[in-house]
Every structure is written in C-alpha cells, then in structure tokens.
Chain A
Amino acid sequence: MSTTTTQSGSGAPAGNSPGHTGKPGASRLVSWKAGIGLSLLAILGTILFAFMAGPKSAGFGIAEASNTGASTLAAWITLILALVISAGLGYLWFVRRSGTGSGYATVPRWIPACTVAAVIALCLAALGVAKVSKITLESGPVGWICAVVLLALAGYSVFLTQAKKTTPRWVGGVFATVFLVGFLVWIVAHGNDAEPAISLAGLIAGSVTLAVPLVFGSLSGVLCERVGVVNIAIEGQLLLGAFSAAVVATVTHNVYAGLVAAAVAGALVSLVLAVVSIKYLVNQIIVGVVLNVLISGLTSFLFSTLLTADPDGLNKPGHLPPVDVPFLSDIPIIGPILFHQSLVGYLMYIAVIVVYLGLFHTKWGLRVRAVGEHPQAADTVGINVNRTRFWNVLMGGAIAGIGGSFFTLVSVDAFSKDMSGGRGYIALAALIFGRWNPIGAFLAALLFGFADNLQSVITIIGSPVPSQFMAMLPYALTVFAVAGLVGRSRPPAASGIPYVKG
C-alpha cells in the first residue's frame, strides 16, 4: 500500500518529488499517506455505516431459485477441492513464513492471493452446499462492526507509522474488503422497499460481463505500454472492432468471421498508430487522440449512410451464444458467474493468462519489457526495438478489437453510434490502476465493471448516493492512483518516447 517516500509530521503528505524514494536504513522515513488516508476513510465509514445506518435490513440474494438443487454433487466436489487447496496453500504460506522468520519478503506473491481466492471459493461452496439462497443483514449492527474494524485497522496503521514501520499490504486489503461490505449493506438498506434486497450473484455476474471489453482494452494497453508505446487509441480499437464485427458477421452470416474481422480492424487502427508514431515519430498521445476522433467520425458516418440504409443486409450480426463449461458451470454461485460466458468471455480468460505468462515468463516477454524500459540497452544486445514495438502494438490492437466485438456480437445485436461509450478510456484507467500488469489490469477492470453494475442496480432499488457519484468512482480512483495516493503506479520508463537508432 504505502511507499517509503517522505514524512511530514503536520499532516498532508507534502513535498513528494516524483520518483524519489527514501533509502531504507537508519534514518528511515515512513509515509503518513497510508495512515492518514485510512483514518479519513475509517471516519467516513463510521459516520455513514454506523451513525447513518438505516432502520431496515439488507438482503443479498445468493443464488437463483431455479438453480439450486441441480448441482449438489458439483457443490460438494468444489467444497472438498477448495478445502484441500486452501488448507494446502495456507500450510505452505505458514511454513514459508515461519521457516525463514524474516517476514513477507520470502513468501512468493502468489501464495497469499491464491489462498484468499481458495478461501473465498470455500465459503461460496459451503453456502452452495447449505443451499442458502438469501442472506439478510441488519444494517445497524453490521454497520457498527464494520466501523469498529475500520477504525482499528486505521489505528494500527497510524501506530505502525509512528513506530517507523510501513503498513503491510494486508491491512489495505482487509480495509478495502470491510469498507466494501459496510458500504454494500448500508446502501442496500437505504433502498425504497420495505425489505430491500439485491441479487449478489446477479450483481457479480453482471460485473464480469461489463468488464469484458474493459479487460480486452486494458490488455491492449498493457501490451503497447510495456513495449514503450502509449496507446490512447483503445477507444478507437474497440469501436472499429465492434463496427467490423457487426458488418462482417452480417455479410458473411457467420459470427466467427465477425470475431476475426474485429481483431483485424483493431490491428488496423494499431497499424496507423504504429506507422505514424514509430516511423514518423509523431507524439503517440496525439496519434491516439486523433485516431479516436477519426474512428468515431468514420464509424458514425458509415453507420448513418450505409448501415441505416440497409440494416438487414449490413447491421444484423448473429449472436454469440453463452456456452456452459461442462461441470464447472454447475458449481453453485461461482459457476454461473465465471463459466456461463460467450466465446468472447472465455477468450478473455485465455488472453489474460497468455499475456501474463508471455510477458513475465518467456524470453519474448523479457525482450518486450526491456524495450519498454530501456530501448538503448535492448538495442545494444541485439533486439530490434522498433520491430518489437511494431508487432506488439499490432497484437494489442487485435486484442482490443476482439474486445470491441463484445458490443455487437454479445451484449447488443447491432452496431450503433459511439457504442463503446468511453470504455476505452476506462480500460486505460484499469491499466494504470492495475499497474501495467495483465492480472492487475484484469482485476481493476473487474472492479470498474462492478462499480458500473452496482450503479445501475442501486439506481433501481433507490439509494442515498446519487448514481452520478457511483459512475464517477472509477475515474476518481484512477486520479488517486496516478497521484500516488493509492499505492504507487509507475509506467514503463520509455513509454511514450520514440526510439531512433543512432
């Protein structure tokens, strides 16, 4: 969560020079950012969740009524598997930690994350086995519990900072989770009904669906920025992908041809970006912004002239039906959320995993990152910088294009003007929030999809928070992230700088 940058006793974190990190050692300086930030949020949480708690209870639907009972076997198998895995990981974690005795540094990063995931799966499977279909929480007591936990965590963080120690990451994680729970209970309990309730399964499933184009877009951004090309044109790639998918799928009567066409279209936008910014060395941000305007104008123009004149012949793509993965989709709660997706949804999982493994566990990935961080050094060891950049940007465009096909082949069955609706920019935000890491970008995109879906859900049940503020959330979080208030985000060093051999 926090970095060792500077200490300012009076209050606000003042005088941070960008990129400056304090040296660990005798005169170690610990940032007050985490302590102060958590304290403010904890106070806010206490006021909202505890003192302003509504008299009503909040209901959370866990599973669809029709879905229960059909999958007892899957639920039991999942329960047992999750139990075994979480126990195993937990043991591994414990052994690694106590074995060396020096703390977190020796535990591989994936162990805590996977353990938490396994425990969550375990809890959900237990709910499935117990056939719980709805949880009802009293907003008053839950609010108070959340508030006390938040205050305690903030106090712990302040205490650690006082003792010149950095706040460990888990404090931030737990804090965010508790805050989210408190917030959900509080906001649902303020609904208009007598017993307000939302479907938690529907909420999360909707978030995953809404996140699909964001994930593809941010993966495109990761591929481009990691190789040193700023890709603002994600919006254009999504939009042209959506357009070509619609047109080609209609003309060929084949949705899969549409999917391929979307990838080609995205790559085409990237081609312009790559040629103009790598060969003609134009500022990449300018090219990106201009490309977005160009694609928006071009698709709107073609839509108004050709597609509206002949909607049946040009703008009636088929639908990519959702596909159930055998067995996995029978798992209660998790199954319908993760394994009841269209082909584009499964491609998303594959893309995240492939990009992650490719970037961080292959020779190719090492080269790509070298080019993005220090092109001169990469060139010295014989990597063709501009060719690497060119192909990566093209690949990024193809991925974003596939994400664009989601709009016309999965969510809506026809193209309409500017239908990407600024999601390319949210994808950009997700990429930054995820710290230029495919997994991080994926999680950030899920978070933004969640915020987006929560906004529409609570608008339906009625809420004390205006929906516009919920809609603002991803953007505000991103501003905090780039300003260094939420963790530290640092782009690849050579991002945005063209490379000229010589």
Chain B
Amino acid sequence: MPDAKTPRDEDDDVATDVALDTADGAMAPSPVPASSQGGTIPHAAGGSLFRQIVTGNAMVSVLSVLLAIVLGGILMAVTNPRVAETAGYFFARPGDMLSEVFKPYVALVQGSLFNWAGADTAAQLYPITETLTVSTPLIFAGLGVALAFRAGLFNIGAQGQIIFGALFGAYVGFTWHLPFLLHLVVVIIAGLVGGALWGGLVGLLKARTGAHEVIVTIMLNYIANFLLLFLLTTPAFQRKGSTNPISPFLDQTALFPELLGPQFRLHAGFLVAVLATVFVWWLLNRSTLGFEFRAVGANQSAARTAGINVPRAVVLVMALAGALAGLAGIAQVSGTEKYLSGGVAASIGFDAITVALLGRSTPWGTFFAGLLFGAFRAGGVAMQAQTQTPIDIVLVIQSLIVLFIAAPPLVRAIFGLNPRKKKNATGGHGSGTGSGATAGGKIESGAATA
C-alpha cells in the first residue's frame, strides 16, 4: 500500500465524506459512498478542468478497471509455465513472452466482442451477442441491488430473489398453456411476483423488527436454494421420467423470442433489460416514490422528520428490488436455460452486487457495468477453452475492480492523483468550513439529479 503523501489533508477530506456518509458516526456508511454519488467531486472544484477530469469518479472507475486487469494479467503470467519458459530467452525474442502474457486477454476480447478469426459474419459477431445474452440477467439483478443501495439497504439477497422469480415463472411456464405473448407476459408477472415476495419479506422483517437486512438476505438465499432443491424432487416440478432434479421444459409460448434467429442465443429479454433500466431511472430520478427511497437512503431520521413513511419505503424498495432480481430469474428460465434446475441462479446474485457497485448504483451505470461483466463472463468461457486459463480469473478481476472502486482514495493514491495537494495550496481553511462547503456541494449535486 503506497503511503499517501499528505496524510493530514487526506484525512480531513475523508473525514468529511465519512461524516456525511454516517450522519456523524450515528449509522453505518451507505453502500454508495456520498463521495461517489452525483456528477462532480467537490474536493476538486478548485482545480483545472483537466485535473477535475482525471480525479473525477469516471476516471477512478476507468483506472480501477485498468489496475484490476493489470493485476489479473500478472497473476495469469506468474502461474503460466509457458511464460516462465519464454522469459528465459526474453532478451533474445521478447515477442514470445509478451504474446504468452497477452494471449488470455486476446482470447477474452475474441470471446466477448468480435472474433476476427471467425469464418463468416455470423461467427464473427457471435461473441458480442453472447455478451449481451450473458449480461441480461446481470443487468436485471444488478438493478435490483442498486435500487436497494440507493435506499440505503444492502441487498445481498439477489440470489434468493432470482431463485424465487425463476421458480414462480418456470412453474407458470410449464404447467399453464396459454397463447403466445400472453403466456410470456404471465410468466414475467409470475417472476416479478416471486422475486417481490422474497424481497418484500426482507423489507417487512427490516421494517417491523429491525432485523439487519444483510444477515436476513444471506440466510434467505440459502433457504431459497434448499427450497428449490426440494421442490425439484417433487412431482409438481420434476420432469416426468427423469431422476435428475430438473423441471420440464417451458412451453415454446413462454420463451422470449430470439432476436437474431436461431443461431444466436440473444433473446428479447435484453430489450426488457433496457426497458427495466429506463424504468429504474425514471423511478429514482423522476418519481415521488424514488425521491422517498433516496431520502431514506441518505438519512432515515431526516426522512422520517420530513414525513416520509420509512417502513413503507423499506418494504416497497425491497419488493421492487426483489421483483427486478426475479426478472433475472425469468431471463434464465425463459431466455437461456429454458428449464428450471438447481443451478438456475448460478452466481448471478453475487455478481450482481459487484455490478451494482461498479455502476455506482445509478441505473445506466449498472447497465454498462452489467455489459462489462457480461463480457468478462462470455469472454472468460472462450478464454478457458482456448488458453486453458481457468474462468475463475474473471472473479478475481471483477472483485478487484469493485474493491478499488469502493476506495477511490486508494486508487488515487496509487496513481498519485490525489486532488488534496491542490487544496492545501489555497490556504489553511479550517476543516469545519471545508466540510460545510463540501456538504453543500454534494447536496446541490444530489438535487440536480433529482
């Protein structure tokens, strides 16, 4: 860990952020740090435009991704025996080692964006459609997690909510037989209801008994998982004539239509994901309810004083977050998997947390973070097939990205971009006035987005 050059100054600014985040030490900091919300970073206000850009949040995100990719590359290089081999004659033929080092990432890009080695256009474009397909459930679940974050709730329970959405949706999908489109709509509604029930339960427990949502959601994930495994052994859910714990296929009428023909897996669920993103954006930034959610997230006591029904907001936001995660379950059963199995939720629920954090809990940020992690996933599969690099490296890179993003001062310190040095030059304002100005700036930026 590189030591910060001006610890005192940095501490001052960090202290301001924390005071803002924790209501002066009265509550746990919000999952979305105040310093990362809104568009501007107040500390940098005095600097040049260039300085503001390089120290801003977008830059921190980009640098975090870069840093994680570099660290991931080092990890892959160190563990690859071919790299060590080629390093032996590095000075004779440096190209060998470098190509070995970059090979996994090349395969990653080839598997997620554009395969220039493909035989025809369809084969060349297949990776990007695969990325969009894999991204779809990540975006849904990420939106669910992000929405709860904005209300100050830590929704670790996307996993369980996905399972419940998939459970409800799949049941309707293979037992009811309805005409095309109507069936799909009913399946989607069932998924929404399933997720909302499981999410709303968390909200209800939180609002009525004060149970911490992190613990409750972790436990409910396991309960949902075991419930799913149990139901898949019952006649109502198990496929006829199969001893495996898998459900029958959903009716053709219950599936999302394929967007680009049968040779691609991309389905209309992706369009629904775009719609969901627009909806969450509208909800958070244009609706009264969204304003209440954000007010509750910023400071519950203040929200209560302002006449907001906090318990109602908590239940509603968790139900909505659950419904969104439930859509991720629908994207799985009606989109890619076409049946229900024990692994229907894979690790989407946990990836969704990293997606929401990378997207800084804004709807469109989450959308693009979902695309990025979808690309990692899709590319990771190709990378594993081509270069025998285990797909687990994707988890490492993903979590490193989120770790860096969550700690902007760390990234700035690594790249020597701390804006604090500038501020020091402008004079010895007391930290009191500084914090006042900072708080004002943040509230202003918050109001601007409202």
Residues of A in contact with B (beta carbons under 8 Å apart): 16-19, 230, 232, 272, 275-276, 280-287, 289-291, 293-294, 296-298, 300-302, 304-306, 309, 375-376, 422, 425, 428-429, 432, 466, 468-469, 471-472, 475-476, 478-479, 482-485, 491, 494-500, 502
Contacts and interface: CB of A to CB of B under 8 A. Distances in A.
Interface size class of B (residues with CB under 8 A): 35 or more
B4 to A, nearest CB: 9
B399 A479 contact: no
B211 A479 contact: yes
B219 A478 contact: yes
Interface in B196-233: 205, 208-212, 214-216, 218-220, 222-223, 226-227, 229-230, 233
A301 B410 contact: no
Contacts of B233: 466
Contacts of A305: 79-80, 389-390
B57 interface: no
Contacts of A18: 209-210
Nearest to A232: B214
Given A482-B216, A483-B209, A497-B29, A472 B396 contact: no
A500 B14 contact: yes
B399 A475 contact: no
Contact of B219 (A469, A475, A496): A475
Interface of B: 1, 11, 14-15, 17-19, 21-22, 25-31, 33, 75, 79-81, 154, 156, 205, 208-212, 214-216, 218-220, 222-223, 226-227, 229-230, 233, 350, 353-354, 357, 389-390, 392-396, 398-400, 402-403, 406-407, 409-410, 431
B205 A479 contact: yes
B80 A496 contact: no
B25 A500 contact: yes
Contact of A287 (B1, B25, B398, B406): B406
Nearest to B397: A297
Given A283-B29, A301-B79, A482 B227 contact: no
A283 B406 contact: yes
Given A290-B402, A469-B230, A483 B223 contact: no
Contacts of B220: 475, 479
Contacts of A502: 15, 431
Contacts of B208: 16
14 contacts: A18-B209, A230-B214, A281-B14, A283-B28, A283-B29, A285-B214, A286-B402, A287-B406, A293-B398, A294-B403, A471-B226, A482-B211, A496-B28, A497-B22
Contact of A280 (B27, B79, B394, B409): B409
Given A289-B156, A297-B392, A478 B31 contact: no
Contacts of A284: 28
A283 B33 contact: yes
Contacts, number: 177
Contacts of B81: 309
B226 A468 contact: yes
A294 B211 contact: no
A275 B354 contact: no
A468 B33 contact: no
A306 B393 CA distance: 13
Nearest to B214: A285
Contacts of A290: 354, 357, 399, 402-403, 406
A38 to B, nearest CB: 19
Contact of B25 (A376, A466, A469): A376
Nearest to A310: B81
Contacts of A469: 226, 230
Contacts of B209: 16, 18, 482-485
B392 A300 contact: yes
Contact of B29 (A19, A425, A484, A498): A498
Contacts of A300: 390, 392, 395
A282 B33 contact: yes
Given A298-B395, A499-B25, 6 more contacts: A18-B209, A18-B210, A282-B33, A309-B81, A376-B25, A484-B211
Nearest to B210: A18
A297 B350 CA distance: 13
Nearest to B208: A16
Contacts of B210: 16-19, 484
A8 to B, nearest CB: 12
B314 to A, nearest CB: 12
B6 to A, nearest CB: 14
A296 B398 CA distance: 12
Contacts of A478: 215, 219
B169 to A, nearest CB: 21
A429 B222 CA distance: 12
B395 A293 contact: yes
A296 B393 CA distance: 10
Nearest to B229: A468
B406 A302 contact: no
Contacts of A286: 31, 357, 402, 406
Contacts of B222: 422, 425, 472, 475
Given A281-B18, A468-B229, A476 B396 contact: no
Nearest to B402: A290
A491 B205 CA distance: 16
Given A301-B75, A479-B220, A484-B209, A283 B25 contact: no
A272 B407 CA distance: 12
Contacts of A498: 18, 22, 29
Give the top 3 A-B pairs by smallest Cβ distance, nearest first.
A18-B210, A297-B395, A304-B390
B223 A475 contact: yes
B395 A483 contact: no
A477 to B, nearest CB: 9
Contacts of B156: 289
Contacts of B226: 468-469, 471-472, 475
A294 B396 contact: yes
